[in-house]
């Protein structure tokens, strides 16, 4: 056991107060887990602090709260034997030291009171098992029974106990191992990686919500591809996101090949992560090509095609979100829209950019046109410098055209200059299909540039259209 002391890690007065409170209750207390890990990684001071007490964590939380200014509320979670205090900008979670055992069909442990050593044994990784003592005599002492410091230095994810037991007991730890490897840019120790592969099917007992929570954290890391490569390598990805692994592979017929859309997708996700922290736009990058697996066809004259893959992919987004119990709300609709429109700016950038085509793009994308452009620029994964330069320049042209068209025509979040009520009034109509026909004709005329997006021009166009339809105006 190390004899190192790290009092500078626990300079905040709250730690001394916790230590004093635990001694008054005749128990030992320690700060453990992510706070200690991040201190040694110099990742800033975490606001979430886990305190383990050799005794009742709930009693210790109550004691601490009674000594704090303003007597903050103690939130008690009896089922888990934990308590939480929100104080200033800190979230303090207290738990009694415990040992755990598991049933095969559940990740919910049978919990018994235990020692600090028992509690460290049950931790997921060595880098999360380090503790710093808060008692008066041992204040600041590091307790690192599994050489977590060494694993931090080696940038290694390793389990305290035999990895097969750790992952089988709580299969969510397989996702957490991959998530930490992604966030910290660490490697997973070989035995641990093999154990994840061996126990991958155990992930099926974990709730979809917990899996998605880890997927979000992987997606929001600096380089998400690290995590998705590990999920793929261990066999977890086809269980969780089969739509992605279905994209893997290159087929060749009559000398004609297509690119591997799985590895391309991971590049796109990394590219977009350099330019946006929007989680749902990163999801759109991850799913933008999922329609290519079911739509892949080979035609002798034109080679490989993926007709309507954007439409098919946008439908698959709904099924995927539903299966993973993700929100079936505006966030999902945003991802669907991005997937559905993901090729539109690319087609524009390859052709002569007309005002009319740009107006339609801005009209259809609405407030998300910037997000769509960010996605399409991330989709440039060619390794040919000349092609890459050309595509980027073309996208700049499209962006400039969007600005010009929008300043002139105001079609983003388009509202028709003439309302349905006014059409009814002018032609003395009751609600009918004629009103829709006239409104659509005005919209098309504006998008095609036949008339400006202004009231007077739209009104005159409406009168002309009504006359063609044999409608009489008042």
Quote helix, strand, coil % in the chain, to nearest 5. Answer: 55, 10, 35
Determine the Cα–Cα distance for residues 58 and 66; give it in Å rounded to an integer: 13
Determine the Cα–Cα distance for residues 222 and 271; give it in Å rounded to an integer: 10
Domains of the chain (ranges, CATH numbers): 7-151 (3.30.460.10), 155-240 (1.10.110.30), 420-468 (no CATH)
Neighbours of 212 (CB within 10 A): 18
Task: Quote the pLDDT of residue 34.
Answer: 94
Is residue 92 within 8 A of residue 49, CB to CB? The reply is: yes
Is residue 438 within 8 A of residue 470, CB to CB? The reply is: no
Task: Quote the pLDDT of residue 73.
Answer: 93
Task: Quote the pLDDT of residue 1.
Answer: 46
Tokens of 177: 């191992």
Burial 316-351 (b: 16+ CB within 10 A, else e): bbeebbeeeebeeeeebbbbbbbbbbbbbbbebbee
Q: What pTM does this model have?
A: 0.86
Tokens of 95: 């738990």
Torsions phi, psi of 301, nearest 5?
-80, -40
Read out DSSP for 175-217? HHHHHHHHHHTPEEPHHHHHHHHHTGGGGGGS-HHHHHHHHHH
Read out DSSP for 311-373? HHHHHHHHHHHHHTT---SHHHHHHHHHHHHTTHHHHHHHS---HHHHHHHHHHHGGGHHHHH
Give the residue among 374, 331, 357, 473 at the shortest CA–CA distance from 411: 357
Task: Quote the pLDDT of residue 350.
Answer: 65
Is residue 451 within 8 A of residue 404, CB to CB? The reply is: no
Tokens of 181: 């490897």
Task: Quote the pLDDT of residue 107.
Answer: 57
Identify the three-state secondary structure at position 135.
coil
Neighbours of 441 (CB within 10 A): 18
Determine the Cα–Cα distance for residues 49 and 297; give it in Å rounded to an integer: 54
- Digits of tens for pLDDT over the chain (474 positions)? 456 889 888 999 999 999 999 999 999 999 999 999 999 999 877 789 999 999 999 999 999 999 998 889 999 998 778 999 999 889 999 999 987 655 566 556 666 788 999 999 889 999 999 999 999 999 999 999 999 999 999 999 999 999 998 998 899 999 999 999 999 999 999 999 999 999 999 999 999 999 999 999 999 999 999 999 999 999 999 999 999 999 987 765 655 655 789 999 999 999 999 999 999 999 999 999 999 988 877 777 767 667 788 999 999 999 999 999 999 999 999 999 999 998 887 777 666 778 888 888 888 898 999 999 999 999 988 888 888 888 888 888 888 888 888 888 788 878 889 999 999 999 999 999 999 999 999 999 999 889 999 999 999 999 999 999 999 886
- Segment (H or E) for 132: strand 131-133
Task: Quote the pLDDT of residue 394.
Answer: 84
Burial 35-52 (b: 16+ CB within 10 A, else e): bbbbbbeeeeebeebbbb
Torsions phi, psi of 353, nearest 5?
-85, 110
Task: Quote the pLDDT of residue 155.
Answer: 97
């Amino acid at each position: 056991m190390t004899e190192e002391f790290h009092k500078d890690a626990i300079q905040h007065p709250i730690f001394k107060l916790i230590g004093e409170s635990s001694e008054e209750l005749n128990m030992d207390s320690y700060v453990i887990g992510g706070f200690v890990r991040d201190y040694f990684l110099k990742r800033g001071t975490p606001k979430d602090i886990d305190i383990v007490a050799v005794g009742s964590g709930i009693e210790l939380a109550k004691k601490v709260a009674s000594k704090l200014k303003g007597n903050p509320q103690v939130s008690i979670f009896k089922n888990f034997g934990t308590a939480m205090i929100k104080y200033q900008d800190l979230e303090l979670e207290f738990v009694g030291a415990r040992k755990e055992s598991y049933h095969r069909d559940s990740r919910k442990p049978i919990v018994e009171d235990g020692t600090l050593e028992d509690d460290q044994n049950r931790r997921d990784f060595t880098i999360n098992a380090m503790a710093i003592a808060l008692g008066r005599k041992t204040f600041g002492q590091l307790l690192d029974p599994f050489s977590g410091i060494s694993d931090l230095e080696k940038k290694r994810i390793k389990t305290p106990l035999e990895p097969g037991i750790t992952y089988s007991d709580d299969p969510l730890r397989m996702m957490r191992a991959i998530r930490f490897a992604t966030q910290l840019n660490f490697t997973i120790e070989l035995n641990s990686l093999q154990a994840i592969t061996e126990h991958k099917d155990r992930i099926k007992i974990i709730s979809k919500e917990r899996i998605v929570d880890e997927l979000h954290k992987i997606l929001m890391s600096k380089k998400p591809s690290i995590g998705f490569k590990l999920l793929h390598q261990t066999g977890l990805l086809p269980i969780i996101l089969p739509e992605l692994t279905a994209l893997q592979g290159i087929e060749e017929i009559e000398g004609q090949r297509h690119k591997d859309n799985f590895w391309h997708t991971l590049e796109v996700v990394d590219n977009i992560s350099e330019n946006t922290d929007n989680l749902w736009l990163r999801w759109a990058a991850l799913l933008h090509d999922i329609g290519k697996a079911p739509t892949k066809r080979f035609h002798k004259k034109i080679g490989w095609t993926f007709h309507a893959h954007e439409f098919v992919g946008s439908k698959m987004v709904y099924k995927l979100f539903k299966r993973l119990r993700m929100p079936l709300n505006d966030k999902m609709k945003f991802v669907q829209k991005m997937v559905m429109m993901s090729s539109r700016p690319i087609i524009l950038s390859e052709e002569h950019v007309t005002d009319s085509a740009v107006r339609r793009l801005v009209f259809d994308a609405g407030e998300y046109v910037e997000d769509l452009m960010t996605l399409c620029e991330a989709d440039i994964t060619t390794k040919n410098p000349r092609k890459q330069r050309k595509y980027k320049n073309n996208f700049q042209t499209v962006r400039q055209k969007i600005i010009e068209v929008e300043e002139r025509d105001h079609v983003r979040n388009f509202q028709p200059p003439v309302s349905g009520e006014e059409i009814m009034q002018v032609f003395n109509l009751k609600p009918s299909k004629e009103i829709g026909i006239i409104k659509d004709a005005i919209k098309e005329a504006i998008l095609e540039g036949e008339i400006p997006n202004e009231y007077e021009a739209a009104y005159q166009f409406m009168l002309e259209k009504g006359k063609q339809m044999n409608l009489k105006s008042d």
